[in-house]
Amino acid sequence: MKAVITTVGKDRIGILAMMANACADNQVNVLDVSQTILDGIFTMTMVVDTEALSVPLSDFAAYLQELGDKNGLVIRLMNKEIFDSMHRV
């Protein structure tokens, strides 16, 4: 299954690396990444493949949210089909 991970927060060194490692540690393959920094605010969207995910999706989502809380970021995980439906015109 494909999923979307969004990350938002104050820019600092290592956010992309932290997120890539979080995915790799849980057997999540990063398919695409888009990031930008606007006036010191880091935003990133990752499309990932969770087919080989080593834990239940809800556990991975909670892990990412906790990782964000510890690092002053807002990190959310959503099923890509739901994400696409929410953003369809």
Rounded Cα–Cα distance for residues 59 and 64 (Å) = 9
| Sequence-separated contacts (24+) of 51-59 with Cβ below 8 Å | 51/1, 52/27, 52/28, 53/26, 53/27, 53/28, 54/26, 54/27, 55/26, 57/1, 57/3
What value does the mean pLDDT take over residues 13-42? 97
Output the domain CATH number for residue 32.
3.30.70.260
Interval 59-68: pLDDT, tens? 999 999 999 9
* Cα–Cα distance measured from residue 21 to residue 4, given in angstroms and rounded to the nearest whole number: 16
- The reported pTM is 0.90
Number of structural domains found in the chain = 1
Say whether pLDDT at 57 is over 80: yes
State yes or no: pLDDT of 85 exceeds 90. no
Q: Which domain holds residue 73?
A: 2-87
**Cα–Cα distance, 57 to 14 (Å, whole number):** 24
